[in-house]
Structure 1
Amino acid sequence: MSLPSIPICPPFYFKGVRFMPLADRRAVEQVESFEVRDDDVFVSAYQKSGTTWTQQIVSLIFAEGDVGEVSKIPLMVRVPWLESIDVMGTGKPFPEVLNSAPSPRLMKTHLPYHLLPPQAREGKGKIIYCARNVKDVIVSFHNMRAGGKDFPSGTFDENFEEFISPEQAYFGFWWDVVQEYWRHKDAGNMLFIKFEDMKQDLRGHVVKIANFLGKTLSDQRIDEVVANCTFSAMKENPATNFTKDPAFKGKTRNNFEFMRKGEVGDWKNWLTDQQSQTLDAIYREKMKDLDLTFELQ
C-alpha cells in the first residue's frame, strides 16, 4: 500500500504565528469554531518535544484491547493532528473530520495555547502539554527538516537563526509558547510534563497521565504500555516511526529517521559555544519570572 499524495500547503501566517508545510490553513482556521467534548484529549507540544511519545502513551492508555495490536495502528490514525488534513481518508481538514468522530477523541496539536479551541481554554476536555529543553528541540527540528522532502530545509546555522526569530520561527517562538502553557499549568484540565522527566521515569509518567485522564490501569497493563512506549520499541515500530513504513519510501532524504536518538543533551554535539550562550541569554530574559527550569548546561 502506497501513501496517498500529501497536498503541501506553503508556509503561512495565522494571527502572527508562522506555520510550516503539512499544517493546513483551512484546519487552523476551523480550530476557532471547533466544538470540544468533555472527554476530548489534546496532546500538545512544541515541534520535536515529545509529541509522538506522548501520543503513543495516551492512545495505549485508552486501548481497550491488546495494547500490542493497537500499537500497530498508524499513530496519525489513532491520534490525528488537529491542524492538518486527513491524508489517510477523506482529505478534509481534521477539525471537520473530527466533528463526526466517535468519542473519546484523541488529537495532537502544535498550536500555541491562545490558538487552541476556545472551549478547551475555558476548561472543556483535557490538555496534556509536553515541553523539552530548547537546545535539543532545535537540533531535533533541524534534523527533521534536513530529512523530510516536504519541509523547507537549510543549514543548521540558518535554521538556528530562524528558530530564534519571533517572526520567523515555525509554530511560534519557543519561549513564548512554552511560557504561555506553563502559566496555565494549574488549570483543572491541564497536565504539564517534561520530556527530560519522562526519560528519567517513564513508568511513573504513564501512571501520572493515566490518573490525569481518569483511567485506572492494572500493573500488567501499565507494564504493557511502558514496553510499547520505550524509545527502542517505538523506533522499530512503523506505526510510530513512519520512516520504517514502506509506504513512505521515497518521501525522505539523507537516510532520515523520524525517530532519531530521543536523547537528552545531544545539543552539545551541535551547538557552538556562542549559540548555546545566545539561547541561555534569551531564556534568562524571557523566562525570568517563571519557576520553570530545564537542564541546559
Structure 2
Amino acid sequence: MSVATHPICPPFYFKGVHFMPLVDKRAVELVDSFEVRDDDVFVSAYVKSGTTWTQQIVSLIFAEGDISTVSKIPLMVRVPWLESIDIMGTGEPFPNVLKNAPCPRLMKTHLPYHLLPSQAKEGKGKIIYCARNVKDVIVSFHNMRTGAKDLPTGTFDENFQEFISPEQAYFGFWWDVVPEYWRHKDDNNVLFIKFEDMKRDLRGHVVKIANFLGKTLSDQRIDEVVTNCTFSAMKDNPAINFTKNPALKQKVTKDYEFLRKGEVGDWKNWLSEEQNQTLDAIYREKMEGVGLNFEFE
C-alpha cells in the first residue's frame, strides 16, 4: 500500500475557523464551490464525536452489510475526508480528486455547517451529523493530539483551555458548531444523531440511517451491519483502526490507538472538579434555549 507524504502546514484560519495541519487549506478553499450530486452523502461531526463509527455504518449500508466487499479497503478510501488530501493515492486535495469519483460518493467532514459546500446547504445530497457530549469530546481529542504525529499538542490543562476558547478552538467552537447543525435538523437533507443514542441503540440507528439514505435492507443484512459496527469489531479491523495497519501507523502516529475506548462518561477520569464546573457554566450559558440535550454518563 502506497501512502503519500502529507505536506504538513502550520495551523491556519479560514473564515474565522481555526484548523489543524491535517486539514489542507487548498481543500478548504475549494469546498464552497464543490459540485454536489443528488446521491452524495456527507458524514459530518465535530472531531472525535463518532465520525469513524458513522462512516463505517454508512459504508456498510451501501455494501448491504457485506463486509467482505469492503474489508480490504481502508475506511479513509471508502469515505474520504473532504477537507484533506488523498494520502492513499494522488496527494491532491479531495475536492479535486472527487470530481471524477463514481457515484455514490461518500465523504466525511469536520467542517462547521456554514462552511459546507453551497449546494449541500441548498438541499443537494444528504448530510448525516453525529454529535457527542462535549466532555467526552475534549478527552478524546486530547488523546488523539497526544498520540498523532505532526499535531500541535500540550498538557491536558493546556488543551482544555484552548478548547474552551472561541478563537483558539480547532474546527470551531463546539458551542457554535453543534447548535448550528442542530438548527438544520429538520432540513430534508439532514439527519442529526447522537453518539450516546447510538451506544444505547445501535440497531435502531442503523435502521434510521438506512431509511434516511433510501436503502432497504433485510433483517439479516441489518444484523450484519450491526455486528461489524460494534466498537470491538471496528477496533480489531485494520481497514478502520489504522493503527492496526503498520504502514499507516508509522506515518501518522507516535504511540496511539486510534479507537481508544468509545465510552460514554470517560471524562470523569480526566476532568478536575474546577474544569467540570467550568464546562457546566459554559454549557448553561451557550445552550440555553437551543433545545439540544446530551447524556454525560
Query: SS where residue 107 of structure 1 aligns?
Result: strand
Cα 1:179–1:207 shift into 2, 3 Å: same
Is contact 1:113-1:180 (8 Å) kept? yes
Residue 295 of structure 1, CA deviation: 2.1
Q: Which residue of 1 aligns with 2:131?
A: 131
Aligned partner of 1:158 in structure 2 is 158
Q: Structure 1 residues 48 and 64, CA, compared in 2 at 3 Å: closer, same or farther?
A: same
Distance in 2 between residues matched to 1:2 and 1:155, nearest whole Å: 34
1:69-90 Cα offsets, whole Å, 9 max, x none, are: 3133100100000000111111
Structure-1 residue corresponding to 2:224: 224
Question: Would you identify which runs of 4 or more consecutive aligned residues in structure 1 move more than 4 Å?
Answer: none
Shift of 1:141: 0.2
- Structure 1 residue 254: Cα displacement: 5.8
Structure-1 residue corresponding to 2:53: 53
Alpha carbons 1:46, 1:174 under 8 Å: kept:
yes
Look up the match of 2:215: 215
Quote the residue 1:291 is aligned against. Answer: 291
Q: How far does residue 9 in structure 1 lie from its aligned partner after superposition?
A: 2.2
Provide the rounded CA distance (Å) in 2 between the counterparts of 1:143 and 1:254. 12
What do the CA deviations read for 1:29-68 (whole angstroms, capped 9, x no partner)? 0001100110000000000000000000001000158323
Tell me how far apart the structure 2 counterparts of residues 113 and 78 of structure 1 sit (CA, whole Å).
22
Conserved in 1, the CA contact under 8 Å of 2:65 and 2:225?
no
SS in structure 1 at match of 2:44: strand
Of the structure 1 ranges 143-152 and 251-260, higher mean CA displacement relative to structure 2 is found in 251-260
Contact 1:149/1:253, CA 8 A, preserved across alignment: yes
Equivalenced residue count is 297
Q: Secondary structure at the match of 1:128?
A: strand
Q: Is the 8 A contact 1:42 1:108 kept in 2?
A: yes
Map of 1:174 onto structure 2: 174
Equivalence for 1:191:
191
Q: Which residue of 2 aligns with 1:268?
A: 268
Contact conserved, 1:24 with 1:83, CA < 8 A, in 2? yes
Q: Deviations over 1:131-153 (max 9, x none)?
A: 00000000000000000012111
Deviation at 1:289, TM superposition (A): 1.0
Residues 164/43 of structure 1: CA separation in 2 closer, same or farther (3 Å cut):
same
Match of 1:83 in 2: 83
Does the CA contact (< 8 Å) of 1:148 and 1:251 recur in 2?
Answer: no
Question: Take 2:49 and 2:264, find their aligned partners in 1: how far apart are those partners?
Answer: 11
Q: Which residue of 2 aligns with 1:8?
A: 8
Measured in 2, the distance between the counterparts of 1:193 and 1:65 equals: 20
Amino acid at match of 1:12: F
Separation in 2, partners of 1:252, 1:94: 18
Q: Using the alignment, how far apart are the partners of 1:54 and 1:128 within structure 2? A: 8
Aligned Cα root-mean-square deviation (Å): 1.3
Indicate the SS of the match to 2:250: coil
Q: Secondary structure at the match of 1:95?
A: helix
Q: Secondary structure at the match of 2:290?
A: coil
The runs of 5 or more residues in structure 1 that have no matched partner are none
> Does 254-263 or 104-113 show the bigger shift?
254-263
**Are residues 249 and 50 of structure 1, via their aligned partners in 2, closer, same or farther at CA, if it must alter by over 3 Å?**
closer
Query: Residues 219-258 of structure 1: matches in 2 within 5 Å?
Result: 219-251=219-251, 255-258=255-258
Aligned to 2:117: 117
Distance 1:160 1:221 in 2: 42
Normalising by structure 2, we get a TM-score of 0.97
The 1-side partners of 2:80 and 2:49 are apart by: 17
- Within 2, Cα distance between the matches of 1:263 and 1:251? 27
Q: C-alpha displacement at 1:296, in angstroms?
A: 3.3
* 1:99 partner SS: helix
Q: Tell me, in whole angstroms, the C-alpha distance in 1 between the residues paired with 2:194 and 2:225.
A: 19
